[in-house]
């Protein structure tokens, strides 16, 4: 194994990766279904021909900048492993800020009535699944426009034993939802300006679904549709929590203020100190 690992490191180094050894070790760990420590502990391990073929394929795919999550078909989020395919956006650590905000704002007790949550644009289902696992009385409606995406999200709900707590709906934002009032609405919508898409690194723009990235001309297209229309689906006093791009806090909070029906509008920063989440409550005297 040692010789093959060294070849992989050299191949990735030639391709310009900053941390070729780490990249190679992650690919080896995923391909061989072992912890990275075993790579060090058993350098003498003899690889089978199928293992060599798989590893060679993984390295060459990574050389072409295909994301590791798509190569290995898995990504960790909230200390859980999720199935990831090219149909869905790869979960980012920043989205854990949204989940943490959701959990901190959930004040219902375990023995109280069900906590109804709407997850708009569920993607791989990470937000819905974590909420269903972490909030005992949570019932989630998770939407996405693409059936192939919902298939991945359903698979992850089954993988983590919460499929009975999540109802998946094919919907373009609110288009196919029944008029049910939710305690909370969450979304990590596309928020990259269309003109900035080609500025993204090739790992992202060449492989991840464009529809999950493209926030239209000003990057605010989805917020402009979600924020006012959410009032029809949110209980009075209910909370809406949205992930945002790092420069969008003022614009998104402005959209909340402009409706006149939200209060306690707040911005939460991510681990790097950038604005990452905006949340607000529907006023108790608002319509709906």
3-state SS of 189-229 is CCCECHHHHHHCCHHHHCCCCHHHCECCCCCCHHHHHHHHH
Helix, strand, or coil (residue 175)? coil
Residue 272 burial (10 A CB sphere; 0-12, 13-18, 19+): exposed
Predicted pLDDT of residue 162:
97
Predicted pLDDT of residue 136:
82
What pTM, to 2 d.p., does this model score?
0.92
Provide the b/e sequence for 153-179 (b: ≥16 CB within 10 Å): bbbbbeebebbebbebeebebbeebee
Predicted pLDDT of residue 110:
54
Helix, strand, or coil (residue 123)? coil
Instruction: List 20's β-bridge partners, or say none.
Output: none
| Residue pair 128/153 in contact by the 8 Å Cβ criterion | yes
- The parts of the chain modelled with pLDDT lower than 70 are 107-113, 286-288
Residue whose token pair is 């269903």: 132
| Residue pair 234/182 in contact by the 8 Å Cβ criterion | yes
Predicted pLDDT of residue 39:
76
Predicted pLDDT of residue 133:
94
How far is residue 193's CA from residue 11's CA, in Å, rounded to a whole number? 35
Task: Identify which of 98, 79, 100, 91 has the alpha carbon closest to the alpha carbon of residue 275.
Answer: 98
How far is residue 227's CA from residue 262's CA, in Å, rounded to a whole number? 9
Predicted pLDDT of residue 4:
84
Residue whose token pair is 């909030």: 135
Cβ neighbours for 222, distance < 8 A, ≥ 6 positions apart: 121, 173, 187, 189, 190, 191, 215, 216
Predicted pLDDT of residue 113:
65
How far is residue 256's CA from residue 99's CA, in Å, rounded to a whole number? 20
């Amino acid at each position: 194994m040692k010789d093959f690992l060294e070849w992989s490191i050299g191949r990735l180094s030639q391709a310009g990766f900053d941390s070729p050894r780490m990249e190679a070790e992650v690919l080896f760990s995923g391909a061989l279904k072992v912890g990275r420590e075993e790579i060090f502990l058993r350098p003498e391990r003899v690889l089978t021909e199928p293992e060599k073929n798989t590893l060679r394929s993984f390295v060459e795919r990574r050389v072409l900048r295909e994301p590791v999550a798509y190569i290995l078909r898995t990504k960790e989020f909230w200390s859980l492993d999720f199935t990831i395919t090219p149909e869905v956006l790869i979960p980012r650590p920043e989205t854990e800020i949204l989940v943490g905000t959701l959990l901190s704002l959930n004040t219902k007790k375990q023995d109280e009535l069900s906590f109804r949550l709407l997850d708009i644009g569920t993607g791989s289902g990470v937000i819905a699944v974590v909420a269903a696992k972490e909030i005992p009385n949570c019932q989630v409606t998770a939407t996405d426009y693409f059936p192939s995406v919902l298939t991945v999200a359903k698979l992850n709900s089954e993988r983590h034993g919460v499929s009975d707590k999540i109802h998946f709906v094919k919907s373009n934002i609110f288009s196919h939802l029944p008029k049910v009032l939710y305690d909370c609405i969450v979304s990590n919508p596309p928020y990259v300006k269309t003109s900035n898409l080609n500025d993204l690194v090739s790992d992202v723009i060449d492989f991840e679904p464009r529809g999950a990235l493209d926030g239209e001309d000003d990057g605010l297209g989805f917020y402009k549709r979600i924020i006012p229309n959410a009032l029809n689906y949110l209980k009075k006093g209910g909370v809406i929590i949205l992930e945002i791009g790092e420069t969008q806090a003022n614009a998104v909070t402005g959209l909340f203020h402009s409706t006149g029906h939200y209060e306690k509008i707040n911005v939460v920063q991510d681990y790097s100190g950038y604005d990452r989440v905006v949340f607000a409550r529907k006023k108790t005297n608002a319509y709906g």
